[in-house]
Amino acid sequence: MITAILISGLLTKARLDRAIEEMRHVAVGNSADENLVLIFNSPGGDCFAALRFLDAVRGDERTRRLAERAEVKIYDAHSTAALVAFALGSKWELSANAKIGFHLGETNVQVGNPDHFDQDGRLAAWIVEEWRRYRTAVTELMDRLGLSTDRKLQAEFWATGRLDLSARECLRRGLVSRLFCVIAHRRVSARGMNQG
């Protein structure tokens, strides 16, 4: 049996909390012969929530084992979504029309928000620490994927803070095992005009 979990839209804390609850639910009832497919279609999201999500997946033995052997199908994954999608699973497939966007992340800091700044006006230590953790997670993932050995890619990544790879480039570099096509269905009226 195959179970699929869709992780789509902006990756907020609430959305990732729901995803981890679904994964835990599947992990509890999962037998060794059942497979999990994680489906990603996301432009990115909250990088700190993504770190907490990955900590939760790795912190629970059943969920970690399930996530490690999952198949990952990616329709779209940028920034935080790319980190999460490639941090999970053992086999990755990508839409032939997609691009993967690795990004050093960003966060909104509100002037005057006591949660964001210390009394002396410096950025709160927890933000600095989470930011370092996120950057470390991205660079370690790029190392694992073999992207850190390409000087041209690294120069682009560190100069701009992001790296976009086409589906074909991901396949060529071995990031994904295959590309799949998404066929859009169009309705046709009696006059033969596309209805979208």
Domains and CATH numbers, the chain: 2-180 (3.90.226.10)
Q: Are 92 and 72 in contact (CB under 8 A)?
A: yes
- Residue numbers of the chain with a pLDDT score lower than 50: 192, 194-196
Considering only CA atoms, which of 153, 117, 136, 154 is closest in space to residue 47? 136
Q: List 74's β-bridge partners, or say none.
A: 40, 94
Residue 32 has a pLDDT of: 55
Residue 113 has a pLDDT of: 66
Cα separation, 61 vs 128, in Å, equals 29
DSSP the chain: -EEEEEEESSB-HHHHHHHHHHHHHHHHH--TT-EEEEEEEE--B-HHHHHHHHHHHHHSHHHHHHHHT-EEEEEEEETHHHHHHHHS-SEEEEETT-EEEEE-------TT-TTTB-TTSPBPHHHHHHHHHHHHHHHHHHHHTTGGG-HHHHHHHHHHSEEEEEHHHHHHTTSSSEEE--PPP--B-TT--B--
pLDDT tens digit string along 147-177?
999 999 999 999 998 899 999 999 999 999 9
Residue 6 has a pLDDT of: 94
Cα separation, 149 vs 173, in Å, equals 12
Cα separation, 22 vs 13, in Å, equals 14
Residue 31 has a pLDDT of: 61
Residue 196 has a pLDDT of: 47
Cα separation, 165 vs 74, in Å, equals 13
Considering only CA atoms, which of 168, 173, 177 is closest in space to residue 150? 173
